Chain A
Amino acid sequence: MSSALAYEASPAARSSNRVYPRRRRRVKGASIAIIVFLAMCAAFVSIPLYVVIVTSFKTMDQIALGEIFSLPTTWTLEGWWKAWAEVCSGMTCEGVRHGFFVSLAILFPSLFLSIALASVTGYALALWNVRWAGPFLFVLFMCAFVPFQIIMIPLVALTASIGIYGSIWAIAIVHAVLAMPLLTLIFRNFYKDVPPEIINAAIMDSGSFWRIFAEIILPMSGNIMIVVLILMITSVWNDFLIGLTFGGMGNQPMTVILANTVITERGEVHYNVDMAAALLTAIPPLVVYFGLGKFFVQGITAGAIKG
């Protein structure tokens, strides 16, 4: 895990290790203080995850005792099963699994549409002489920061007028539209470092725009593809507002089902079921994060700064 996350052991870090090899061995008072402080902050960050995990495995009888930090006396999967298959969201009582499959169904077209659109656009803007590329990039940069609310209502009207409102496609297309500016900028920043000689040689070799893209550019963009893929998987999976606004009644993604389940719960509240449902929703992006953390970090910093 830690080696996967050491995404750039900076030259700075490496050279200082070499200059002061002894200093690092000695544990000084300041070092201990720093580690204690870091550990306390790490505890603050990890406590919620711990609490949610233990709560989800407890029985309601034990939860009622109010010992939020204690381990389950009897570990039970009852909460998990109820959250997956039985819990009620609004009128239907079929657990969060429906939302899980809707979220999956949204994820794949969103990824395909957004990456196809943004990579081709980024490639055209970076490597081909398009006269108004500069102003267009500037406009995209501004669009990347526009609050969703200002384009939400017309997009609802637009998707309704072409008859896809309330379907998975509406959600996927809106995701692709909203992600387009940022992803295009990320792709363009990556492709602009491709040496122009390669492209010139390829044009001489009678390579067309699309052939160069498919045969030269795509094979060399594996790294950026993974970064963008992870950025999109986490943001599409974790999205709530787009799913809520464009999903209608039948196509609500997992976050919407979860919110409906927990927030509109009536009568006796089953905290173990709530926490299991929350964990089920959080597991896919967490798996991506712990598995591919290095690319996740690159993605969020690329999305934040270079965007």
Chain B
Amino acid sequence: MALRWSKVSPRLALIPALTVTLVAFAGAIGWTIWMSFTRSRRFPDYAIDHTLWARQYERLFSDGVWVTSLKNVVVLAIGSALAIVLGFILAAMIEKEKRGEGFFRTIFLYPLAVSLIVTGIVWRWMFNPALGIQNFLHQLGWESANFNWLADPATAIYGIILASIWHGLGFYMALMLAGLKSINTEIWSAAKLDGVSFWRLYVEIIIPMLKFTFLTCAILLSLGVVKTYDIVLAMTNGGPGTSTWTPAYFAINAYSTRSNIGYASAAAVIMLLITVAVFLPLMAITAWQARRREAAAI
């Protein structure tokens, strides 16, 4: 009796998770993809006009704001990559120095516990032209200092990048630190004995050894950038004009402000495609690492 139940129970226990996966993920994604081919507006309309099935996508890519959003994602990804570079430098320094490791790690990581809305509001205050950093620099006598980035469509996105780096820096540092600690100690002593210079050690040995940590960081960063929404809302609310819109902002705006389900779905589908394109390398890495681990076990 007990044995029979032990065969049935695990399957019963998996039913909720399976239901969630099938309904809330697979089903919902399918529904959104379907909607993106229809002309649904406020309410879903399931009919697809087969001659004009790509109408939402055609509209989307001829929409200047959407093109701006896509450009912003690229700018954000490139700009935020600085967080990975800086995170590596900080991790390497903390690992080399060791003094104050716990202290510095605590400081660098705390922004991650703060929500992106709070981050955005805090940085908006720092960027305040009359009362923030700019005014402080002017009072110091640097009259030409311009820190009013958020007011100018050309620089607003860099303000968002700065705040994102502040928020994410510690995360990449923690990943890099974990990567550095997994490196065999003998390499450090061997390098010391051979008299390998500091720069060569890092550029030619350490960084190549950490290439998968770097790649993981880059992929996680890109996945995060595609979803950028909260911080834009809190810092600029898409403005000035539409200069800091992102695809996530666009999709939600199309749904909640313009009440256009078809259009919002098309934008969401493109977001999914970007995610998949970024995600495939991650899969490849995981498979590769699993194989390496198996090989090591044998």
| CB contact list, A121-158 vs B, under 8 A | 121, 123-125, 128-130, 136, 139-143, 145-155, 157-158
Total interface residues in chain A, CB < 8 Å? 106
Q: Which residues of B contact A91 (CB under 8 A)?
A: none
In the bound complex, do residue B10 and residue A128 qualify as a contact, i.e. CB atoms below 8 Å apart? yes
Partner of A263, one of B5, B24, B234: B234
In Å, the complex CA distance between A181 and B22 comes to: 12
Given contacts A139-B21, A209-B5, contact A300 B174 (CB under 8 A): yes
| CB contact list, B104-137 vs A, under 8 A | 104-118, 121-126, 128, 130-133, 135-136
In Å, the complex CA distance between A10 and B216 comes to: 22
| CB contact list, A49-63 vs B, under 8 A | 49, 51-52, 55, 63
In Å, the complex CA distance between A157 and B128 comes to: 40
Which one of A163-171, A220-228, A233-241 contacts B?
A233-241
In the bound complex, do residue B5 and residue A240 qualify as a contact, i.e. CB atoms below 8 Å apart? no
Q: Which residues of A contact B90 (CB under 8 A)?
A: 38, 41
Which one of B59-67, B149-157, B199-207, B267-275 contacts A?
B267-275
In the bound complex, do residue A147 and residue B268 qualify as a contact, i.e. CB atoms below 8 Å apart? yes
| CB contact list, B80-98 vs A, under 8 A | 86, 90, 93-98
Partner of B183, one of A12, A37, A63, A128: A12
In the bound complex, do residue A149 and residue B271 qualify as a contact, i.e. CB atoms below 8 Å apart? yes
In the bound complex, do residue A1 and residue B102 qualify as a contact, i.e. CB atoms below 8 Å apart? yes
Q: How far is the CB of A282 from chain B (nearest CB, A)?
A: 5
In the bound complex, do residue A152 and residue B101 qualify as a contact, i.e. CB atoms below 8 Å apart? no
The answer, yes or no, to whether B288 is at the interface (CB within 8 Å) is no
In Å, the complex CA distance between A18 and B100 comes to: 18
Q: How far is the CB of B287 from chain A (nearest CB, A)?
A: 10
Partner of B28, one of A42, A46, A145, A151: A151
The answer, yes or no, to whether B257 is at the interface (CB within 8 Å) is no
Q: Which residues of B contact A128 (CB under 8 A)?
A: 6, 10
- State the majority secondary structure of interface residues on A: helix
Q: How far is the CB of B2 from chain A (nearest CB, A)?
A: 5
| Chain B proximity mask over A149-190: 1 for CB below 8 Å, otherwise 0 | 111111101100000000000000000010011001000000
Interface residues of B (CB under 8 A from A): 2-3, 5-6, 9-11, 13-14, 16-18, 20-21, 23-29, 31-32, 35, 44, 86, 90, 93-118, 121-126, 128, 130-133, 135-136, 139, 166, 169-171, 174-175, 178, 181, 183-185, 188-189, 216, 220, 223, 226-227, 229-230, 233-234, 237, 248, 251-252, 255-256, 261, 264-265, 267-269, 271-272, 275, 279, 282, 286
The 3 closest A-B pairs by CB, nearest first: A2-B102, A238-B115, A209-B9
Question: Could you show 29 A-B contacts with beta carbons less than 8 Å apart?
Answer: A5-B102, A6-B101, A13-B95, A13-B181, A41-B169, A63-B131, A68-B136, A117-B20, A124-B13, A128-B6, A136-B21, A140-B21, A145-B223, A146-B272, A147-B275, A149-B252, A149-B264, A150-B29, A151-B24, A155-B24, A177-B20, A209-B5, A209-B9, A209-B10, A258-B117, A259-B233, A290-B110, A304-B171, A304-B216
Interface residues of A (CB under 8 A from B): 1-6, 8, 10-13, 15-17, 19, 24, 31, 34-35, 37-38, 41-42, 44-46, 48-49, 51-52, 55, 63-64, 66-69, 117-118, 120-121, 123-125, 128-130, 136, 139-143, 145-155, 157-158, 177, 180-181, 184, 203, 206-210, 234, 237-241, 245, 255, 258-259, 262-263, 271, 274-275, 278, 281-282, 285-286, 288-290, 293, 296-297, 300-301, 304-305
